[in-house]
Each structure stands twice: as C-alpha cells, then as structure tokens.
Amino acid sequence: MDRRTARARGGRRLAAAVVAGLTAATVMSAAPATAAPQPASSLPAVTDSTSAADAAVAAEQTLTWTAGNSIDDYLTFPATATAGAATIVFENSIATGNTFGMSHTLTFDTSTAGYNHDVTLDILSSPFDASGGLHEAEVVLTPGTYRYFCAIPGHGGMWGELVVTGEGGGGDDTTAPSVTATVTGDQDEDGAYVGGATVTLAATDDDSGVAGVEYNLDDAGWQAYTEPFDVETVGAHTLQYRATDEAGNTSEPGTAEFSVVEGGGEEDTTAPTVTPMVMGEQDEDGAYVGTASFMVTAEDDGSGVASVEYEVDGQWLPYTTPVAFTEPGEYSVSYRATDEAGNVSEVGTSTFTVVAGDGEDDTTAPTVTAEVAGERDDDGSIVGSATVTLEATDDASGVESVEYDLDGAGWTEYTEPVTVDEAGDHTVVYRATDVAGNVSEETTTSFTVVAEGGSDTTAPTVGTEVSGTQDEDGSYVGSASVMVTAMDDGGVASVEYDLDGAGWADYTEAVVVDEPGEHTLAYRATDEAGNVSEAATITFVVVASDTGDTVAPEVDHRVYGQVNDAGEHTGPAFVRLRATDDDSGIASVEYRIDGGAWTPYAKQISVRGPGEHTIDYRATDVAGNVSAPQSVVVVLEGGDSGPEGPEVTAGVGGGMNRDGEYVGRVTVTLTAVDEESGVDRTEFQVDDGAWQRYAAPFVIAADGEHVVRYRAVNGAGTVSKTGEVTFTVLELRRDRCPGSDVRPTVIIDGNDSGVGNFDDGEGCTVNDHIAEWDYYENHLEFVRHVRELTRDLVDEGVLLGAERQLIITAAELSDIAR
C-alpha cells in the first residue's frame, strides 16, 4: 500500500467542486466506471471469508497498525473503516521487525482542526514491555477523518489518516464518481505552462457521495487530494486521478498531460526590498536583556525573492528563521536579499546590544524524579530486570536534557526508560538541565537485581595466587602478579579488588604490582543472584630488582567436570589456567575459545555448548615476554561441533559529511539475537580499551578514528565471533543545531529524496536546514525556501547539483503549507 494514500494533510470528504476559470485552463474528465476495480486503500479490511460489502456494514471491526525500526513510517495501517465499535490493535515487536528495541506510540490527534476529536487513544509500545509490544484497545468511531501519529520526539514522520464512513456504506450504489482535472497557468505559444501550473481536481457522486480523491503525478505514487497544488518542475508531466464514493466504487483513472517551462524574469531589474527587525525585552538604555531575536523579511514584486542572507563575524549565512543572540555584547548584523532574476539588494546593517539578565530570568533548576519498576521478591529485590524511568519538569524555560550515570559508567543522555538486567546492586545518579542552563542537584537511587528463580543465597568462593620471583625473605623481586579466581554454581557476575586502599575496581586480569614496599590487596566477588562474598585480603612485599628478564612465563591448564565412557563431558566443563614466571612475574593471562577473540583470564572458563571446543591460552610477564600459545580440546556430548554463538549487529548513527565522517558525535547501537538459549550479555570495546557490558546505545564524541569491537554470550555460554565497526568523528567546534535530525536520507513530509542527509560541518544536517516544521505562507513559499537553501548548500560543497534537484522534487511532492 502506498502510505501517502492514508496521510494527506487536512483530509476531508469532497463534495462537488466549482472551479473558477483561470488563464488558459485545460479541463480533463474521467467517466464513471460502474464495475471498476477498487484499490485496497479505499476498502475496509476483510479478515474472514465475508465479502467487501459485508465488511462495509459490519458493526464491529479490527483495525491493525504495526511498527518496526523506522521512525518515519508505520509498517502497516488501515486506510478506511466503518462507523461503530472497533478493536484497535497496535503491535511494535520483534515479530514485526523491531530489532532495535525502539518505542513507538499510536496516538489519535484530538486538537488539529479538520479531524474527528471524539476518540482518545495513546498506546505506548515497546518490544520489551510487559505485553511484548502487542496492545489492544476498544473504541467507537464516528463518520469523518481521524489523524493518527507517533508522539515519540523525532518520530514526526509517522502519521496518517483513517477515513471512517457511515454504517452501511452506500446501500445499492454501484456507480463510481465522476472526476475532472483542471490545469491552469500562463501558457506560451506551444501550450506549455510558464513558470508552473496549478492542478485542481473535482469529483461528484449523485448516490452515496464522494469519500476521497487521489492523484498520481509522474508515477510518484497515489496520494490523497485535498486542495489545488502547484507543479513547478520544468519538463513534461503526466497526472493520473481517480475518486472513490462512500459505497466503495472507484472511478477508472483519468489522465492529464502537460509541460512546464522556465519562467521569465529577464525584465526584472529591481532588487528586493529588505526589512530587518530586532525583538526582545529592552532596558531603559534600549539594550536587549538576555536575548535579542534578529529577523529579516524580504519582498519582490517582480520575479520573487530567491534568497535572504545575514552576516555575522565576516561570514554570510542563509537566513531561514529568526536568529537568537544570547551572549552579552554589541552586535552589528548585515543583511541582503536576491531575487529570482539575480538582482541583489543593497547591504543593510542593524546594530544592537545584548546585556545579561537582571535576575528575573529563570534561575531555578528542573525537578527530576526516578521510578524503578519490576517484579520484586520478599526482600524488595527486583527479579530478572529493572526498568528505570526518569521524568523532569521545569515551569520556567523548560527542560533541555536529562542525564544518568549507571554504576559509575559515566554520564549518558536519557532518551527512554533504561533496562538493567545484570544481577547485583546498582546505583543510578541522575540530573537535568533546563534551557536557561540551570542544572539540578545530582540525585541517587539504588536497587538490587536478582536472577530469576531466586533460590541462590550462597556467595561465590574466591581465592588468590601471588606469583613472581621471591628472595630468601619471601619478598617478590621486581614485581608480583596477583591472580584472583572465583567460583559459583549459579555463575559469577563480577570480581573486584582494592589495592592499598585505592578503592574497589573491576578485576579483569592479573594485577601486577611493581612498586617496592608492602602491599595489601582486598578482593571479593558477586554472583548472578547478587550474593557478594566477604572481602578477604592478602599482603606481600615487593623489592627492587636490577636483573633483566628474557624468559617467557610457563602456563598450564586443568579441566574439571563429569565425563562419560567416551571421554565426553556430560555437563558443563570448566577449564582453569595457571601461569608462573620465575623472573619479573606474571602480567596477564589470556584465552580464546574456538578461534574467537583473545579474552583476559579472570576466572575459570565455562564451556557449555555440545560438540568439540578448542581453548587456546598464553601468558605475558612483566618484562613483556609472551609464552607460546597452547591448546586444550574439550568435547561435550550431544554434537560433533560446537554451536554458533549469538548473532550480533552494530548500528552507527549521527550527522555525516560528504566524506562519510561523523560530525560531533556518533551513537552506537548493538543488537544481539540467539534463538536457542537466548542472549546472556552483550559486550563492547572502544579503541582497544577494556571490554564493557552493553546496556544501552552509547555515544562517542572524541575527535579522530575509532574502532568499536563487539560480541555476545548466549545462555549456553557460547561466545559469538567478534564484530568490528570503524568510523571517524570530526570535532564539532560550534553546534548550531542541538538535537539534530540525523535520518540517513533527506525526507520531506514522508517523501524520501534518496539523497544523503549530510552535515554541514557545524552540527546542522540538510533536514535541519529544510525545517519543514516552520511556518510558510503557502506551498510555493516552502518550495522556494528549499530551492534557495539547497543552492547555498551546493555552493558550500555540502550537496551536488543533481542531489539538489532530487530534494526540490521531494519538496514539490510534499503537502507542506498546502
């Protein structure tokens, strides 16, 4: 189904239209077709063996919407319905293609003029909510048009219209409507329209009445007609049009062909008239307090205004919306305009002063609250996973952003509820900033997550081993390497250590201590159920050494577990590694399973998948000597080869320039799927740093090239192959468009131009510049605006000329300001 047939702006039922005679009008008509095939978009959904007529008069019906990874479209949606009781079904799940875990809403508009406002519907759906993304609601529909949309910020492209006809449709009406098309405008001696043509469609139906009119311009797809529209693209055009009545009869498509040629303008020698305006609160000296808004209006009675520009700090910029000046100081802003004939106005200048606020501005920080939801056990711990929802309010300037820090991982922008499924104690610190720059006090909430089943109440068993060369006093010469091992029948979640009271840190590999003196290392472990072992300590002494070490460490292994007569393990196998070095001491031990990525050895290796598995291992001493890799083969009954790990994919998002470099920041999203035992955890590594557990999309803003590696472990303990994505981030020295629209391509009112949504280098993408949400007097003004700004973007090297034309075509096909 063409989505646009269900989402024309200002949709309304069309009655007979009277078209006033304009210059050189051309009229085409389509004769009624009694038995014309009816498009799917014009009929109610038929969900059983009943006929279309039966469906039209049904007192009750089921209307289904689905959503997936797109922020621009619902995947499926109904176009029409019958008045009366209806069951609304909204599914946004993995089954419907939502692999990112993205939330969407199905919301009925209750404020925009021209639509029915009698149904209040606002369904929030996520693949990970309690219903798995599938929701139902019972409503009663009345004849007319309902507008629906997704209320999630940034998802403004997801909307459409539902046309509801009266119960019983059109009775015995089997005659399709009559439709006429009128093309008007100034024509040359060849009959071509000069500068543009206006298309007007009119439909009549003497029986049940007209339900809707549609048109298809240059095979761009059928879309609903609501009012006359302009065609300004130079060249030949083919227009198809049709209408459907209340009984569901659709006319045969009519066809109109016409041509548009470039308009005149060569006689226009007068430059546009430009008027500046500065607005804001002024003090007694005429200075603007806090903020000054600079605005420019331009008029041209000849060929029309092509572009408006303003100049600050020696740089001319395209003017599209009022420009706010907030920094205190004196400003001199120049401005000019150019018309379609190329005439440029004289440069004008406005001078004004901005001073700091007098204390009456917003000085109050936002209020932030946190809610932690989830199933709780008798101890108040949350079973399985917890969902943290933050909400901020600000009665003055409004909330600019909300941030949180989960378990000390660093501040992250909050965009949607955060799911925490790792067993153990957790702390969330959160804060909010308003538009005036006030930051709330940091607030903390703590909770505990325990594994489902909840029967594990025994903490892990933890041990240590100190290795290195010892003198006759038992002191370690040069360095000591401390290895911490932990075991737990339910699984070890984390191991921590504290060296000489420096604070607890995650243990990922042997701790090498080379500073002479006495040292104390404390250690503990937490299992998957959240049980924490008692902290234990070990004390040792390191003395200086002046001898060189050129001998690599020695490493050996032991395998534990139940074995059958064939030598296969009947359950999980556990591999323990032990490394020694008589000189400088052990720095690290690593292993890999079945040729995967090398992983620091911190605790016994659990092998659970059926089949044959190869574990490679090696060790490095403090002097940098690395042992030759050794291997051990472990076979688990139930298969000839090990299972594949989870499937992991990485998505990289952000504003890109023409060279494929990201401007300012990159958001990385990881998705892991395992249809057998499920995904236990997903991990990532940035620029060869430490592996981290993935919980939500993360942002990389550092300038330069970056490499992100990722992997996942399923419920059977099988590790996926390590994936890798490489990208470059350019430093954003001035972000002119915070919260930028970073969709991959330039999309105008749902019309995808196919052109990359490039960043201009200052944080603004092409979609930001187009600003389709701004106010425009009419559609022609909007198209002119798009023509002007894309011309500037071509001059700046952001766009190519061919790409500019594709974007202009998408703007012409849009319904903006019609």
The predicted pLDDT at position 354 comes to: 84
- Is residue 511 over pLDDT 60? yes
Q: CA 191 to CA 194: how far, in whole Å?
A: 9
Q: Band of the pLDDT at 44, cuts 50, 70, 90?
A: very low
Give, as one character, the DSSP assignment of residue 767. Answer: H
- Least confident stretch, 175-184, 348-357, 638-647, 708-717: 638-647
Strand-pair category, 210-217 with 235-245: antiparallel
Q: CA 351 to CA 54: how far, in whole Å?
A: 71
CA angle (623 as vertex; 620, 628 as ends), nearest 5? 35
Check: CB of residue 720 under 8 Å from CB of residue 648.
yes
Share of the chain above pLDDT 90, in %: 16
CATH architecture of 178-261: Sandwich (2.60)
Give, as one character, the DSSP assignment of residue 366. Answer: P
- Is residue 87 over pLDDT 90? yes
The per-residue pLDDT of the chain, averaged, comes to 80
The amino acid that residue 491 corresponds to is G
Q: Band of the pLDDT at 10, cuts 50, 70, 90?
A: very low
Q: Band of the pLDDT at 490, cuts 50, 70, 90?
A: low
- Is residue 362 over pLDDT 60? yes
Cα→Cα distances 548→162, 651, 723, Å: 80, 47, 39
Buried-exposed string 534-561: b where 16+ CB fall within 10 A, e elsewhere? eeeebebebeebeeebeebbebeeebeb
- Is residue 645 over pLDDT 60? yes
Check: CB of residue 303 under 8 Å from CB of residue 265.
yes
Residue appearing with tokens 């008798």: 378
Residue 681 pairs with which residues in a beta bridge?
A: 713
- Is residue 54 over pLDDT 70? no
- Is residue 785 over pLDDT 80? yes
What 3-state DSSP class applies to 804? Answer: helix
> Does the fold of domain 647-730 match that of domain 464-636?
yes
Q: Where are the domains of the chain?
A: 58-165, 178-261, 273-355, 367-450, 464-636, 647-730, 745-813
Check: CB of residue 551 under 8 Å from CB of residue 584.
no
- Is residue 209 over pLDDT 70? yes
Q: CA 366 to CA 346: how far, in whole Å?
A: 46
CATH fourth-level superfamily of 367-450: Immunoglobulins (2.60.40.10)
Check: CB of residue 553 under 8 Å from CB of residue 627.
yes
Q: CA 296 to CA 312: how far, in whole Å?
A: 14
Say if residue 738 is exposed, middle or buried (CB neighbours under 10 Å; 0-12, 13-18, 19+).
exposed
The predicted pLDDT at position 455 comes to: 61
Check: CB of residue 335 under 8 Å from CB of residue 322.
no
Residues near 391 by beta carbon (within 8 Å), at least 6 away in sequence: 368, 369, 370, 371
Report residue 588 CA to chain centroid gap.
Answer: 39
Give, as one character, the DSSP assignment of residue 171. Answer: T
- Is residue 417 over pLDDT 70? yes
- What global pTM score does this model have? 0.26
- Is residue 164 over pLDDT 50? yes
Structure tokens of 735?
């972000």
The predicted pLDDT at position 514 comes to: 80
What backbone phi and psi angles, to 5 degrees, belong to 231?
-120, 110
Cα→Cα distances 99→229, 490, 495, 670, Å: 39, 29, 32, 10
- Is residue 3 over pLDDT 80? no
What 3-state DSSP class applies to 41? Answer: helix
Q: Band of the pLDDT at 56, cuts 50, 70, 90?
A: very low
- Is residue 643 over pLDDT 60? no
Check: CB of residue 185 under 8 Å from CB of residue 199.
no
Closest CA to 336 of 314, 311, 313: 311
- Is residue 609 over pLDDT 80? no
Strand-pair category, 159-165 with 411-413: unpaired
Residue 563 pairs with which residues in a beta bridge?
A: 569
Closest CA to 418 of 383, 371, 366: 371
Query: What size, in residues, is the chain?
Result: 818
Say how many C-beta atoms besides its own lie within 10 A of residue 745's C-beta. Answer: 16
Q: Band of the pLDDT at 9, cuts 50, 70, 90?
A: very low
Check: CB of residue 145 under 8 Å from CB of residue 118.
no
Cα→Cα distances 169→15, 79, 145, 245, 248, Å: 16, 15, 15, 9, 8
Average pLDDT over residues 800-815: 85
The amino acid that residue 740 corresponds to is S
Q: Please name the helix (run of DSSP H) or strand (run of DSSP E) that holds residue 811, with its range, or none.
A: helix 801-813
The predicted pLDDT at position 425 comes to: 80
Q: CA 320 to CA 730: how far, in whole Å?
A: 26
Q: Which residue has the higher pLDDT, 358 or 699?
A: 699
What backbone phi and psi angles, to 5 degrees, belong to 801?
-60, -40
- Is residue 410 over pLDDT 60? yes
What 3-state DSSP class applies to 425? Answer: strand
Q: Which residue has the higher pLDDT, 696 or 787?
A: 787
The predicted pLDDT at position 17 comes to: 30
- Is residue 31 over pLDDT 50? no
Determine the CATH number of domain 58-165: 2.60.40.420
What 3-state DSSP class applies to 271? Answer: coil
CA angle (363 as vertex; 362, 369 as ends), nearest 5? 95
What does 212-266 look like in DSSP terms, one character per residue? Answer: EEEEEETTS--EE--S-EEE-SSEEEEEEEEEEETT--BPPPEEEEEEEE----T
- Is residue 6 over pLDDT 50? no
Determine the CATH number of domain 464-636: 2.60.40.10
Give per-residue pLDDT as tens, 288-343. 887 888 888 888 877 778 899 999 888 889 988 788 888 888 899 999 999 877 88
In 157-228, alpha helices (H):
none
CATH architecture of 647-730: Sandwich (2.60)
The predicted pLDDT at position 496 comes to: 93
Q: CA 583 to CA 623: how far, in whole Å?
A: 9
Residue appearing with tokens 């007529």: 53
What 3-state DSSP class applies to 696? Answer: coil
The predicted pLDDT at position 13 comes to: 28
Determine the CATH number of domain 273-355: 2.60.40.10
Check: CB of residue 723 under 8 Å from CB of residue 649.
yes
Q: CA 426 to CA 407: how far, in whole Å?
A: 6
Average pLDDT over residues 233-251: 85
The predicted pLDDT at position 753 comes to: 84
The predicted pLDDT at position 546 comes to: 64
Q: Band of the pLDDT at 171, cuts 50, 70, 90?
A: low
Give per-residue pLDDT as tens, 702-758. 888 889 999 888 877 788 888 888 888 887 666 677 777 878 888 998 888 888 888
Q: CA 627 to CA 587: how far, in whole Å?
A: 12
